Structure 1
Amino acid sequence: MLLLYTTGIKIYSSIIWIFSFFNQKAALFISGRKQIFKQIAEKVNPNNENIWFHFASLGEFEQGRPVIEKLKELRPKKKIIITFFSPSGYEIRKNYALADGVFYLPIDSRKNAKRFIEIVKPELTIFTKYEFWYYYFKELDRNKIPLFVISGIFRKEQVFFKSYGGFYRNILKCVTHFFVQNPESRSLLQSIGLNNVTISGDTRFDRVFENAESPKRLPEIELFCGDSPILICGSTWPDDEKLLAELPVKYPDWKFIIAPHEVHESHIQSIENRFSVNSLRFSIWSTQLKASGSEILNLKSKILIIDNIGMLSSLYQYGKIAYIGGGFGAGIHNTLEAAAFGLAVIFGPKFNKFQEAKDLIEIGAAKSISNATELINAFEYFKDNEQSSAAAKKYVEDKKGATDVILKDIK
């Protein structure tokens, strides 16, 4: 099985290399790992008290971020070393202020894992939610370096719990302690003999709660919104946008802010072409404001398209309802950022892997839709429903606290 695992890693790397000639993300994946050990050696002092955090991508970083921030507050002398697997995480957070080094994770191999651990010499390591790399875990175990998995979530369909999953179960045995989101995850781990488990909850609740308590003010957004009720459309894809195009005509008193998951030019243009009412790009709008030198402009557009990355978590403060994209693809994106601000949420049909989405539906703070008629019905239900908004906000408030549980036990 180890041979198959190693071969699979090599095949995956080769496929990414081929895609790198015509795909930007794949190109970043490859170029970001060139001379990676030289980059790490130049920035990391192995004699420091290094703590290594690894994240698959941006979403996992936001889950781990409360732990980093609280840890630096309690132990300011600790050095934070961060690695990402995906460009979508690294490229956005490569200049994260609390990190003493942010890098792409070298591809999992015996040689790479040994070299990485020798250079960084972490006193402990924290992985968030998932990603279980055989050689890295084995090298940490061999060097007796504590390894924690935080905000972990497990499902019975995963290979760890199959009759043929022995190789992958052995990877989990390298983990010092699991901090999981729910009782189901603990039961599954215990079913394969792993009792080093604590139900801590999900650190995302801490992060989104803190964000909602002190959001970044966005003056340009405030001017666009005026006194109109706002639907925030976060992390949308074309299938989402096709349905959303029905709303501006039917609800002319509302304004719509669309923050698509992909902000490349062709996607922005497709959004502009899809909607029949006037739309405006954020970059154009903010440029107009600076050029005019005035805060009062005759703005006829009902739709504002966010053509950059990084604003979404602050946009929700201006909304009344949120539509969360991804539910017609691999799965919905982050619903909690919106719920923390007291926004009821609407999303597509693929949400079953997300416990918070199920919870929000159960308490009447979310609805899943599959077509334009269901979208309009959900919109009608939420647009004047204060109880749903209050339920969404309370749900997040009641679930926070995972960070304190994790750090107490790790300490």
Structure 2
Amino acid sequence: MARYLYSLVFYLITPLILLRLWYRASKAPAYGQRIAERFGFFTAPKLTDTIWVHSVSVGETIAAAPLVKRLQQQHPHASIVVTTMTPTGSDRVKALFGDSVFHVYAPYDLPGAVQRFLKRIQPKLLVIMETELWPNTIHYCRQSSIPVVLANARLSEKSAAGYQRLSWLTGAMLNNLSKVVAQNQTDADRFLALGLPDDHVEVSGSIKFDVEIDNRLIAKAASLKDQWSQQGQRLILMAASTHQGEDEIILDAFKQVLNTLSDALLIIVPRHPERFDQVAGLCAGSFSTTRRSQSHTVDAQTQVLLGDTMGELLLLCGCADIVFVGGSLVDSGGHNMLEPAAWSLPLITGDSDFNFAEASRLLQQRSALLRVSDARMLAEKILMLGESEPLRQSMGTNARAVVDENRGALDRLLLAINALLKSIG
């Protein structure tokens, strides 16, 4: 009964969802395209032994990339379908995998849309990245004997409380999961507290620790850093994946930094592409600003480089001396701090980092991560690091050590997935 009520409400609010799509399309036109796919209407190629991997947006897609590539190696005859919910996620799938996977938007969690989608791709297994749980999707997979794995699973205290309040709906959904492969024991315990059976939970660690940086990317980053830093004469700061409300704080801090380190360069990369123009205006109002998308030269007069291209975040991290991880000075839970850690860089984050709580704890434990709460503190930490190369090197070495010491989650996740695939033949 609970799921039927949920479905009825979903159908009733569908016009509002479409209205929101239209509004988002006014800022990012891609949201207005391929809407039929969201209702399960699309033409699929011929697929065999399909493994469906669902990643919501950019972060989850990047995290899923090593998993998808390993699945392709281990199951060469299987078709891989990768779904996302956002256009930026869609762009990442195409950039990472090209035509080696079939990409389509995931269906809205409406009974008809989900059933049409399953009929078209006929998956043997569904792998959901991190926390994207939908009652109808999981119900109809279970009804069709399609195992569902929640991979690299995390569950914050806030999200767990929300699931608990909706236990009348989420209880059955969680019990329909075949396996939850959690990032750490705290996440696993929260799933167990919600009623998930003990034998449905495993702890693998986070597959984001398994980040690998390609040698070609390392070489490209080194070349750019040499140019932009004037052969190492300028300190390069990076603010990665910033959110609305953070940019002003970061730019205020940078203004304070320039009072001491007058030739410093700031690379700022907004999380959402629809905000590129807005952030460009903020930067240009106070600083000599260059946009990465316009291919203008970063010279000695450039104070801010706006990273307004897609798919270059990892590259731009490699050009920095210090990285601030965005989504953490506002209540968004922070973003992936392990990519800059893999570059052996010192890290700074705000107080909101619940999306990466375990990684944050490990990095702080090894003195690789500093926390700040406002522009003054951010400026102080940047200056402290900027004026001490040995401190930057020490923190960066410790950050890389945390990444290296926690690798292996991907192998453990694949063992769980392959066991399920073997069980269904």
Could you state the TM-score of these two structures normalised by the residue count of structure 2? 0.85
- In the TM superposition, residue 40 of structure 1 has moved relative to its aligned partner by 3.6
Are residue 403 (structure 1) and residue 406 (structure 2) matched?
A: no
- In the TM superposition, residue 126 of structure 1 has moved relative to its aligned partner by 0.5
Q: How does 1:245-260 map to 2 (within 5 A)?
A: 245=251, 246=255, 247-260=257-270
**Equivalent-residue separation in structure 2 for 1:222 and 1:81 (angstroms):** 40
Corresponding residue of 1:291 = none
Q: How does 1:7-18 map to 2 (within 5 A)?
A: 7-18=8-19
**Equivalent-residue separation in structure 1 for 2:247 and 2:162 (angstroms):** 37
**Equivalent-residue separation in structure 2 for 1:27 and 1:317 (angstroms):** 31
Distance 1:31 1:397, change over 3 A: same
8 Å Cα contact 1:159-1:168 kept in structure 2:
no
Task: Say which of 376, 379, 389 aligns to 2:379.
Answer: 376
8 Å Cα contact 1:148-1:175 kept in structure 2:
yes
8 Å Cα contact 1:151-1:180 kept in structure 2:
yes
Distance 1:274 1:112, change over 3 A: same
Distance 1:250 1:10, change over 3 A: farther
**Equivalent-residue separation in structure 1 for 2:64 and 2:88 (angstroms):** 16
Q: Deviations over 1:17-61 (max 9, x none)?
A: 2234443268644532226678643x3324x12110111111111
**Equivalent-residue separation in structure 2 for 1:313 and 1:185 (angstroms):** 27
Q: Deviations over 1:100-128 (max 9, x none)?
A: 31111121111122221111111111001
Q: Deviations over 1:370-409 (max 9, x none)?
A: 2222112212333321221111111111111111111123
- In the TM superposition, residue 338 of structure 1 has moved relative to its aligned partner by 0.9
Distance 1:38 1:359, change over 3 A: closer
**Equivalent-residue separation in structure 2 for 1:336 and 1:12 (angstroms):** 38
State the secondary structure of the residue aligned to 1:62. Answer: helix
**Equivalent-residue separation in structure 2 for 1:27 and 1:229 (angstroms):** 37
Are residue 305 (structure 1) and residue 312 (structure 2) matched?
A: no
Distance 1:69 1:127, change over 3 A: same
8 Å Cα contact 1:56-1:130 kept in structure 2:
no
Task: Say which of 389, 394, 401 aligns to 1:387.
Answer: 394
Distance 1:82 1:12, change over 3 A: farther
8 Å Cα contact 1:200-1:406 kept in structure 2:
yes
Q: How does 1:320-331 map to 2 (within 5 A)?
A: 320-329=321-330, 330-331=332-333
Are residue 318 (structure 1) and residue 319 (structure 2) matched?
A: yes
Corresponding residue of 1:294 = none
Could you state the TM-score of these two structures normalised by the residue count of structure 1? 0.87
Corresponding residue of 1:144 = 145
Distance 1:222 1:102, change over 3 A: farther
Task: Say which of 238, 252, 277 aligns to 1:265.
Answer: 277
Moved more, 74-83 or 215-224: 215-224
**Equivalent-residue separation in structure 2 for 1:353 and 1:100 (angstroms):** 28
**Equivalent-residue separation in structure 2 for 1:134 and 1:280 (angstroms):** 46
Moved more, 308-317 or 298-307: 298-307
Distance 1:92 1:149, change over 3 A: same
Moved more, 14-23 or 103-112: 14-23
Q: How does 1:2-151 map to 2 (within 5 A)?
A: 2-24=3-25, 28-34=30-36, 40-41=42-43, 43-46=44-47, 48-94=48-94, 96-97=97-98, 99-151=100-152
8 Å Cα contact 2:80-2:102 kept in structure 1:
yes
**Equivalent-residue separation in structure 2 for 1:380 and 1:267 (angstroms):** 24
**Equivalent-residue separation in structure 1 for 2:132 and 2:299 (angstroms):** 50
**Equivalent-residue separation in structure 2 for 1:406 and 1:341 (angstroms):** 24
Task: Say which of 181, 191, 204 aligns to 1:200.
Answer: 204
8 Å Cα contact 1:212-1:340 kept in structure 2:
no
Distance 1:401 1:327, change over 3 A: same
Task: Say which of 224, 235, 243 aligns to 1:229.
Answer: 235
8 Å Cα contact 2:37-2:106 kept in structure 1:
no
State the secondary structure of the residue aligned to 1:107. Answer: coil
Percent identity of equivalent pairs: 21
Q: Deviations over 1:320-344 (max 9, x none)?
A: 1101222232232221111111111
**Equivalent-residue separation in structure 2 for 1:379 and 1:117 (angstroms):** 50
Greater helix fraction, Structure 1 or Structure 2: 2
- In the TM superposition, residue 92 of structure 1 has moved relative to its aligned partner by 3.6
**Equivalent-residue separation in structure 1 for 2:166 and 2:321 (angstroms):** 48
8 Å Cα contact 1:212-1:341 kept in structure 2:
no
Distance 1:16 1:364, change over 3 A: same
Task: Say which of 329, 345, 355 aligns to 2:347.
Answer: 345
Aligned partner letter, 1:306? G
8 Å Cα contact 1:108-1:136 kept in structure 2:
yes
Q: Deviations over 1:112-150 (max 9, x none)?
A: 222211111111110010111111111111111121111
The gaps in structure 1 that reach 5 residues or longer are: 289-296
**Equivalent-residue separation in structure 2 for 1:374 and 1:164 (angstroms):** 39
Are residue 280 (structure 1) and residue 290 (structure 2) matched?
A: yes
- In the TM superposition, residue 3 of structure 1 has moved relative to its aligned partner by 4.0
8 Å Cα contact 2:335-2:355 kept in structure 1:
no
8 Å Cα contact 2:37-2:105 kept in structure 1:
no
Corresponding residue of 1:241 = 247
**Equivalent-residue separation in structure 2 for 1:140 and 1:21 (angstroms):** 30
> What is the RMSD of the two structures over their aligned residues, measured on CA atoms?
2.6
**Equivalent-residue separation in structure 1 for 2:155 and 2:352 (angstroms):** 18
8 Å Cα contact 1:94-1:103 kept in structure 2:
no
**Equivalent-residue separation in structure 1 for 2:349 and 2:33 (angstroms):** 35
8 Å Cα contact 1:281-1:305 kept in structure 2:
yes
State the secondary structure of the residue aligned to 1:250. Answer: coil
- In the TM superposition, residue 179 of structure 1 has moved relative to its aligned partner by 0.7
**Equivalent-residue separation in structure 2 for 1:132 and 1:238 (angstroms):** 26
